[in-house]
Amino acid sequence: MAGRTEAILARKGEIMKRALGMDYAEFERSPIAFDYEGLMGAHGYSLQDIIGIQLAAGVGSTPLLELRNLTDLVRSYAGPGHGARIFVKDEAANMAGSFKDRRASVSIHVAKEKGYEGVIAATSGNYGAAVSSQAARAALKCIIVQEAFDSRHVGQPEIIEKSRICEAFGAEVVQLSVGPELFSHMLELLDETGYLAASLYSAFGVSGIETLGWELAQEMTAVTGAPPTHVVVTHAGGGNTTGTARGLKRAGATTEIVSASVDLSGLHMASDHDFNRKSFTTGHTGFGVPFATWPDRADVPRNAARALRYMDRYLTVSQGEVFYVTEAMAKLEGLERGPSGNTAMAAAMSLARDLPRDATVVVQETEYTGAGKHHWAQLNFARENGVEVRSGDPADNVPGKSIIIPERPEQIRAKDFDLGKMRRSYVRNALAHAPEGYVPTAEDIVFLAEDANTTPATVEEIIAGLKSA
């Protein structure tokens, strides 16, 4: 099995070239640097083209809602003059109930336009539903490869629900147990079928999220007279942060980009033991940190989702804080939405508390909720797998062992993740993936600085520190 996996991964570039209609080698500049903007523009669609594609697909133009009750709650315990206005972009209004419809709509359009018979995506969550939904609208075949179970053949309720939804849209769902085989099996299927790779990490998918940032800038300007001062983005593989930030920049906004993840430190995402001891399938540090510090671990040769390029802060929150905010959203704002988007909402409440009242904080997405995705289902599943669930101080939360629900909203306190540490890890990974003995060029240093959202001088300092360590 190991030899078979290695063989298919060795052909990744060849398979993805055919499966995406794109030769990634054209963008390579060195063993480290590549033409990122060239990659992002290679599909040839302008932002206005993508807006038109999405409107025809029933995607985008989702409601922007001001959460006045939640803002009032935060202001009730914020210091004098503090408590920013909180808004949310209700992406649950999209066809399949999440912002992932924006990614899927572009990939499906490309598949249809280029004459592919079908599409394949590797995902255990909202993206599978989005791809399946858009493929159904376009009359394309669809295969979803899903990491669904542990070795006991037990799956989280959210993942099982997503299997059902994908099948309801007519997709074939291939379910795997937890492990490293997800991307390699997707490559095998692409090789066998000749379908388009509707990858989460292609330029098609990430460009589809740019419309979300663009809409936020336009709509907030219409409502408040200016783009938002802060946008909070749930961060996992990086596409959400990347696309939203790029769209805001296209609109000329100087918004601070704040990424947010659930802190699942100590749990390994490919561990059979840990797989069902987490109550979040995405939006957590198990994806957020590895993909930020080495984005090219993806199924494509070069990942278009490069979150470290764009994030100004990275906040983490506990599982209990997210579940508390999920309840608060329902009871104060009449919005019962899934916990993934509410990860950013928990971070936004903490952030808004410390900002002046004239600041504006936008949570840029919600997701639908349902029987398997509902937070009560997740908490019951946690209990069944030996995780303690109780009220108390969320600072006592231990991932995989306890979920502590706050007793009061003022207990919600997001923590800053050290971006300097992430930048060092990224540069270390980039050097490790270059040929042995390779010396970075001036062009490499500039690329690493852009990719890590820092300066060439800082990159040179990091490299010097790594050499002396």
Contacts of 55 (CB under 8 A, 6+ apart): 61
Q: What is the mean pLDDT of the chain?
A: 94
Residue 439 has pLDDT above 70, yes or no: yes
pLDDT for residue 183: 81
Q: Is the distance from CB of 310 to CB of 246 less than 8 angstroms?
A: yes
173: β partners: 144
pLDDT for residue 270: 76
pLDDT for residue 132: 97
Q: Are strands 141-149 and 172-177 parallel, antiparallel or unpaired?
A: parallel
Q: Is the distance from CB of 205 to CB of 103 less than 8 angstroms?
A: yes
Number of Cβ within 10 Å of residue 433's Cβ equals: 13
Q: Which of 258, 281, 268 is nearest to 157 (CA)?
A: 281
Q: pLDDT tens-digit profile of 225-244?
A: 999 999 999 999 999 999 99
Q: pLDDT tens-digit profile of 121-130?
A: 998 689 999 9
pLDDT band at 97 (very low <50, low <70, confident <90, very high): very high
Q: Is the distance from CB of 185 to CB of 7 less than 8 angstroms?
A: no
- What are the structure tokens assigned to 305, written together? 């989702």
Give the phi and the psi of residue 300 in degrees, each rounded to 5.
-100, 155
Q: pLDDT tens-digit profile of 31-86?
A: 999 999 999 999 999 999 999 999 999 999 999 999 999 999 999 999 999 999 99
pLDDT for residue 468: 85
Residue 294 has pLDDT above 90, yes or no: yes
Query: How many Å apart are CA 205 and CA 327, to the nearest integer?
Result: 31
pLDDT band at 13 (very low <50, low <70, confident <90, very high): confident
Q: pLDDT tens-digit profile of 172-191?
A: 999 988 877 788 889 999 99
Contacts of 457 (CB under 8 A, 6+ apart): none
pLDDT band at 10 (very low <50, low <70, confident <90, very high): confident
Q: What is the mean pLDDT of residues 269-288?
A: 85
Q: pLDDT tens-digit profile of 392-409?
A: 999 999 999 999 999 999
Quick one: DSSP state of residue 62? Answer: P
pLDDT for residue 2: 60
